[in-house]
């Protein structure tokens, strides 16, 4: 199988900000590929390079085997792009928006109908309503229909579920699953972890750097710091005590247990577990169970969204 | 060019325009309101009024009135004579603005009971300044009369007025062409700038750019509907001028409409350029106002005569499109002349349109900057 997207040492800066810093990865044809990272991580810049809107400072990128700098017009008719914040015309009706984008991409709604039908049919009853009067979920469906109507080879979606209710988000991802099943390559960015879990592979991105690319189940393998699970006793008391521990990097509640990350990458998790156990006993939490664990996607996700970049993150 | 895409684009733009009812109402009413406001309200001020005096029988009273004129600091006596023959050559060579002709019996009548007669002749080739000359002249005479009447005897000075070159003194005649120029710039430059920058703000420009549409197609699609709107505005302004102020239309309507299209193209290209250089709707709006409306209103000869501008400002007026359009429109409407006379101005406008359209197309990049 050939690659739908190939990025090689891609860098892009705006004045003093490095939006992308030496980014390289491939997306296989037919893959549902997720980009996960906080605001300002460089996701939008990456999409704009893939859609030929921006030229990289360094490195190269191909989409469908076409160079994003040289083959600008060839790429444009083959990608379906949904920028952040649904680019629709609020004063045009649902049908008018769709017809306009179909015409602009040199096709008609009829020709693209088969592909968009599962999505568009849900908003078709409101086709005479102006786009400004639609709910977030309906706007999202309309924007996706507009991006799909010319039957693109690859779908590029920049945070398509931001500002959309939970039910609509789930429906939207069901639709993406169907589109993927039909063979479409999809690159999508998201700030939500439950959505990241539905991708074939996920790239964690922070400050313009790719930290890790893995299937969602394997994300966490490259977690850079010792991680402990702590259970037993009153959870909020434990949380407070652990956060006051001088070597604590981060402590989060995960259901019944607490996940504790230590600052010291060089000390073994076993040694730290013993140390934490002793500290908790001193604070009166004698029944606390402390054990080293390996990180899952949740831990990586919390680490990523938590703000400061992980200290010894290894580029994938 | 993909005609289907272009048609869809124009239809979309028309929807934008037609559905924004408030803006549309303002745009359509503007020529009407402006014709009426300018027609009634705008008058220009003058300082140095050159006066010629015809005084067949110089006397204390006539000399006293002359000195009254001089003491206002506004009037300057450039010639005095005994016969009205001196007036015509002075006006023709533009050496005098006002001529004051005393009746031979002015002084004796002033002391007696019969009305003392005065003739005021005014060069009104620019009706606005002409009216102003007249008003100042009358004010001086009335003050003089009031002073003399302060005692017991009632003095009557009767003035007769002759407006030269534009006997009916329809100042609105000269304004309508300027007004059309202003409205066209407003609709064309301002509205295209706003509508293009709105696409940027909404993010729809991002999708349009990613589409196979070429930047030139986007511009043509944007500009065409506004060309139609501008056309409607020209017609409204002409109709209002004719209906309210009975402004004559002596030349070819078709020629004027064609010239209007040329001028609109210049304005539209300016609007596209402004939108390309600005980041937000608000910035685009203010820049468009500053760059197009103000110079076109103030430096075009519409309100302030170009002849009265300081010398260093003159070259600046040459790059103001409205300066050329106003000459064309006044020529066609008021003098009834055609391309035989106006070819030079038309050529300048055509060159401007070509240059700006190319610049506008080039300013519009196929990528985000």
User: What pLDDT digit, counting tens, does each position of B233-244 carry?
Assistant: 888 888 887 887
Say whether both A201 and A104 belong to one domain: yes
Q: Which residue range is the domain that position B102 belongs to? A: 49-164
Same domain for B176 and B160? no
Residue B13 lies in a domain: yes
Residue B282: per-residue pLDDT: 87
State both tokens at B164. 């030269």
- pLDDT value for B169: 47
Residue ending a domain, among B164, B194, B220, is B164
Residues A246-268 pLDDT 10s? 888 888 888 788 889 888 888 88
The Cα B280–Cα B194 span in angstroms is 9
In a shared domain, residues B289 and B226: yes
Q: pLDDT (tens digit, 9 = 90+) per residue, A2-24?
A: 789 999 999 999 988 889 999 99
Shared-domain flag, residues B14 and B67? no
Asked whether residue B264 is domain-assigned, the answer is yes
Domain end call among B135, B164, B193: B164
* Residue A316 pLDDT: 33
The reply to whether B191 falls in a domain is yes
Partners of B16 on chain A (C-beta within 8 Å) are 89, 91-92
Whether the Cβ atoms of residue A298 and residue A306 lie closer than 8 Å to each other: no
**CA separation, residue A293 to residues A258, A260, A280 (Å):** 11, 10, 18
Q: Are residues A166 and A280 in the same domain?
A: no
- Residue B58: CATH number of its domain: 3.40.1710.10
Same-domain pairing of A213 and A282 = no
CA distance B189 to B275: 9
Q: Which residues have a Cβ under 8 Å from the Cβ of B152 and sit 6 or more positions away?
A: none
Does A89 contact B202 at a Cβ distance shorter than 8 Å?
A: yes
The CATH number that applies at residue A258 is: 3.30.70
Cross-strand pairs, B349: none
Select the residue of B8, B16, B210 nearest A53 (Cβ to Cβ): B210
Q: Which domain holds residue A232?
A: 227-293
A107 and A235, same structural domain?
no
The pairing of beta strand A17-28 with beta strand A3-14: antiparallel
Residue B8 to residue A104, Cβ atoms within 8 A: yes
Q: What are phi and psi of A188, to 5 degrees?
A: -135, 140
pLDDT digits (tens, 9 = 90+) for A265-300: 888 888 888 888 889 888 888 888 888 988 877 787
Q: How many residues does chain B have?
A: 369
Do A240 and A213 share a structural domain? Answer: no
Report d(CA B94, CA B88) in Å as an integer: 10
Q: Say how far residue A268 (Cα) sits from the centre of its chain.
A: 31
The predicted structure's pLDDT at residue B39: 65
Which of B112, B137, B164 is the endpoint of a domain?
B164
Domain presence at residue A144: yes
B123 and B244 belong to one structural domain? no
> Is residue B368 a part of any domain in this protein?
no
Q: Say if the Cβ atoms of A91 and B16 lie within 8 Å.
A: yes
How far is the C-alpha of A93 from the C-alpha of A130, rounded, in Å?
Answer: 4
- Out of B2, B5, B209, the one facing A53 most closely (by C-beta) is B209
Query: How many Å from the N-terminal Cα to the C-terminal Cα in chain B?
Result: 25
Residue A87 counted as domain residue: yes
- For residues B150 and B222, membership in a common domain is answered with no
Domain count, chain A: 2
Could you tell me which residues come within 8 angstroms of residue A236 by beta carbon, excluding any fewer than 6 positions away?
A: none
**CA nearest neighbour of B300 among B193, B182, B213:** B182
* Same-domain check for residues A207 and A232: no
Mean pLDDT computed over A93-106: 93
Asked if residue B366 has pLDDT above 70, the reply is: yes
Residues 183-212 of B with CB under 8 A from A: 202-204, 206-212
Are B203 and A91 inside 8 Å of each other by CB? no
Query: Tell me, what DSSP letter sits at residue B250?
Result: -
Give me the pLDDT at residue B152, please: 61
Given A194, A218, A242, which residue is the final one in a domain?
A218
- B28 and B60 within one domain: no
Whether residue B181 is found in the same domain as residue B305: yes
CB A11 within 8 A of CB A178: no
* Domain CATH code at residue A40: 3.40.50.300
Interface test with B, best of A63, A83, A104, A130 (most B CBs within 10 A): A104
CA–CA separation, B99 vs B95, rounded Å? 11
The residue behind tokens 């596209």 is B272
A233 and A213 in one domain?
no
B17 and B104 assigned to the same domain: no
- Please check whether residues A69 and A185 belong to one and the same domain: yes
What's the CA gap between A79 and A68, in Å, rounded?
A: 11
What's the gap in Å between the CA of A146 and the closest CA on chain B?
A: 10
Identify whether B369 is part of a domain. no
Q: What is the DSSP letter of A128?
A: T
Instruction: Identify whether A117 is part of a domain.
Output: yes
Q: How far apart are CA A143 and CA B201, in angstroms?
A: 17
pLDDT tens digits along B17-52: 888 888 888 888 887 887 777 766 654 556 788 899
Q: Which of B2, B202, B368 sits opposite A87 (nearest CB)?
A: B202
Residue B205 resides in a domain: yes
Looking at the structure, do residues A238 and A131 belong to the same domain, yes or no?
Answer: no
A-chain residues near B7 (CB < 8 A): 103
User: For residue B367, what are the CA distances in angstroms to A55, A95, B194, B211, B213?
Assistant: 8, 28, 20, 11, 12
Whole-number Å distance between alpha carbons of A141 and A138: 5
B83 shares its domain with B151 = yes
Residues of B in contact with A83 (CB under 8 A): 203, 206-207
Residue A302 located in a structural domain: no
What's the confidence (pLDDT) of residue A281? Answer: 87
Q: At what angle do helices A136-148 and A94-104 cross, to 10 degrees?
A: 20
Find the radius of gyration of the CA atoms of chain A: 23
Percent of chain A residues topping a pLDDT of 70 = 96
- The encoded tokens of residue B341 equal 């006379």
On whether both B326 and B232 belong to a single domain, the answer is: yes
CA separation for the pair A251, A217 (Å, rounded) = 22
**Predicted confidence (pLDDT) per residue in A136-192, tens digit:** 889 999 999 999 999 999 999 999 988 888 898 999 999 999 999 999 999 999 888
A86 and A199 housed in the same domain = yes
Kindly report, residue by residue over B87-143, the tens digit of the pLDDT.
888 877 778 889 999 988 888 888 887 888 899 998 876 767 788 888 889 888 888
**Residues B186, B84 share a domain:** no
ipTM of the complex, rounded to two decimals: 0.81
Q: Are residues A257 and A134 in the same domain?
A: no
Interchain proximity A91–B19, CB inside 8 Å: yes
Provide the pLDDT for residue A310. 46
Q: Are residue A144 and residue A203 in the same domain, yes or no?
A: yes
The SS3 call for residue B35 is helix
**Location of structure tokens 């070159």:** B165
User: Are residues B221 and B122 located together in one domain of the fold?
Assistant: no
Give chain B's domain count: 2
């Amino acid at each position: 199988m050939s690659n739908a997207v190939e990025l090689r040492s891609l860098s892009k800066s705006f004045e003093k900000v490095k939006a992308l810093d030496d980014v390289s990865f491939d997306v296989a044809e037919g893959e549902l590929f997720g980009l996960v990272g906080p605001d300002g991580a460089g996701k939008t810049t990456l999409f704009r390079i893939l859609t030929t809107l921006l030229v990289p400072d360094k490195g190269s990128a191909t989409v469908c085997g076409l160079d994003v700098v040289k083959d600008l017009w060839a790429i444009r008719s083959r990608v379906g792009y949904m920028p952040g914040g649904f680019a629709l015309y609020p004063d045009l009706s649902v049908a008018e928006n769709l017809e306009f984008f179909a015409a602009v991409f040199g096709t008609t709604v009829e020709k693209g109908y088969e592909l968009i039908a599962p999505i568009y049919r849900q908003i078709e009853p409101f086709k005479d309503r102006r786009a400004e009067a639609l709910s977030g979920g309906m706007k999202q469906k309309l924007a996706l229909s507009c991006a799909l109507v010319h039957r693109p080879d690859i779908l590029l979606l920049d945070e398509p579920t931001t500002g959309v209710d939970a039910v609509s988000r789930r429906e939207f991802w069901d639709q993406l699953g169907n589109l993927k099943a039909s063979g479409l390559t999809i690159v999508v960015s998201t700030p939500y972890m439950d959505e990241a879990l539905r991708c074939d592979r996920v790239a964690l991105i922070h400050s313009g750097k790719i930290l890790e690319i893995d299937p969602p189940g394997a994300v966490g393998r490259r977690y850079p710091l010792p991680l402990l699970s702590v259970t037993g006793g009153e959870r909020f008391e434990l949380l407070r005590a652990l956060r006051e521990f001088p070597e604590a990097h981060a402590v989060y509640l995960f259901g019944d247990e607490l996940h504790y990350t230590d600052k010291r990458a060089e000390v073994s998790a076993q040694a730290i577990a013993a140390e934490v156990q002793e500290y908790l006993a001193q604070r009166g939490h004698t029944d606390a169970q402390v054990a080293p664990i390996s990180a899952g996607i949740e831990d990586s996700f919390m680490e990523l969204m938590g703000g400061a970049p992980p200290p010894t993150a290894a580029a994938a | 060019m993909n005609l289907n895409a272009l048609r869809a684009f124009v239809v979309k733009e028309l929807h934008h325009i037609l559905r924004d009812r408030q803006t549309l109402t303002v745009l359509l009413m503007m020529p009407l309101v402006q014709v009426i406001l300018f027609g009634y309200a705008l008058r220009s001020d003058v300082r140095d009024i050159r006066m010629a005096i015809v005084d067949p029988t110089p006397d204390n009273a006539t000399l006293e009135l002359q000195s009254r004129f001089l003491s206002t600091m506004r009037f300057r006596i450039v010639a005095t004579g005994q016969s009205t023959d001196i007036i015509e050559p002075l006006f023709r060579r533009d050496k005098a603005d006002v001529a004051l002709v005393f009746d031979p019996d002015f002084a004796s009548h002033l002391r007696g009971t019969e009305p003392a007669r005065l003739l005021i002749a005014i060069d009104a080739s620019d009706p606005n300044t002409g009216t102003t000359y007249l008003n100042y002249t009358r004010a001086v005479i009335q003050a003089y009369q009031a002073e003399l009447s302060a005692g017991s005897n009632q003095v009557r000075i009767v003035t007769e007025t002759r407006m030269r070159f534009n006997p009916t003194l329809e100042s609105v005649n000269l304004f309508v062409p300027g007004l059309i120029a202003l409205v066209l710039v407003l609709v064309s430059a301002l509205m295209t700038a706003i509508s293009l920058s709105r696409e940027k703000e909404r993010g729809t420009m991002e999708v349009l750019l990613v589409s196979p549409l070429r930047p030139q197609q986007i511009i043509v699609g944007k500009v065409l509907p506004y060309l139609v709107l501008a056309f409607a505005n020209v017609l409204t302004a002409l109709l209002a001028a004719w209906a309210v102020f009975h402004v004559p239309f002596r030349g070819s309507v078709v020629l004027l409409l064609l010239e209007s299209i040329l001028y609109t193209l210049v304005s539209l290209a300016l609007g596209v350029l402004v939108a390309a250089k600005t980041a937000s709707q608000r910035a685009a709006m203010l820049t468009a106002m500053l760059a197009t409306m103000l110079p076109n209103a103030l430096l075009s000869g519409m309100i302030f005569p170009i002849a009265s501008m300081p010398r260093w400002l003159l070259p600046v007026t040459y790059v103001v499109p409205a300066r050329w359009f106003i000459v064309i429109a006044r020529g066609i409407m008021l003098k009834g002349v055609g391309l035989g006379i106006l070819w030079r101005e038309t050529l300048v406008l055509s060159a401007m349109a070509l240059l700006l359209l190319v610049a506008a197309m080039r300013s519009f990049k196929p990528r985000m900057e």
